[in-house]
Amino acid sequence: MSTPTRPRPVPADARPPRDALTGRVVLAGASAWVAVAHYFVVLVVVRSAWTTPYSVLSNTISDLGAAGCGEHRGRDVCSPWHVAANVSWVATGACLLLGALLLRPVLARGAAGRAGLALIGVAGVGELVVGLSPEDVSAAHVPAAAVAIVGGLAGLLTLGAALARTPGLRGLGVLGVGFGALGATALVLGATVVPERFVGLAERLAAYPILVWAVVAGATVLVRAHAARSRERGVELLPEGGGPHEA
């Protein structure tokens, strides 16, 4: 008779610490990532102020932050509320960096998790520099945007792969890998075969998955933290015997 095989225990470093979800530092990091959602609202508002045609297919995201009016790389650019766009990008970069630092107790599972969070933090720095360096003002804009997108996608793929092996966070990890693959594909195609009239769409498909995933990840941590606190309150309310007394 063969001896039944026991399930392999999950390594301790692959599981989030029991009390990590309810810590103030982690909650602050999760809130920072959720706050990245403001990025999309601001872009819609800034775009609404344009007096010249703006196309999500051909105009880049950076066109919304251009400081002057005129032709830029073959595109007619004039963004009256460019300051709002640039401030939003600085805030978005700061939120990404802050979340990457503060969410380590929950998301930095193993070497791959730590590396993925570090890459997302680097992407946050790149995004911050993008906001400080409008495309028509500073030569630092394009390298910073490259750091933000390439670093963010690399972080998404690396962190997603780590979380896909983490109990309770597998769905978030699979989503990260999927979003990272989508963004990387769009980035490669945009740099090689996509015609100029679709450069804006390719950029969005490369950049947006990073930000959307960060919002989803932050919201996931907040929801799990709320559930953990609810369970703790439930345990505190139990009678001293550990369960309801029978009559």
- pLDDT tens digits, 139-171: 999 999 999 999 999 999 999 999 999 888 999
pLDDT in tens, 66-86: 999 988 888 889 999 999 999
The pTM (predicted TM-score) of the whole model is 0.85
What residues does 72 pair with on adjacent strands? 75
Distance CA 220, CA 218 (A): 5
Contact 16, 10 (CB under 8 A): no
Long-range contacts of 15-19 (CB under 8 A, 24+ apart): 15/109, 15/166, 15/167, 15/168, 16/105, 16/106, 16/107, 16/109, 16/166, 16/168, 16/169, 17/105, 17/106
Rg (CA), the chain: 22
pLDDT over 70 (residue 172):
yes
Please tell me the predicted confidence (pLDDT) of residue 244: 45
Q: Which residues of 204-228 are buried (b: 16+ CB within 10 A; e: fewer)?
A: bbbbbbbbbbbbbbbebbbebbeee
98 half-sphere exposure, CB direction, 13 A CA radius: 20
Please tell me the predicted confidence (pLDDT) of residue 6: 53
pLDDT in tens, 43-61: 999 999 998 899 999 999 9
| Phi, psi angle pair for 54, to nearest 5° | -125, 130
* High-pLDDT (> 70) share of the chain, %: 84
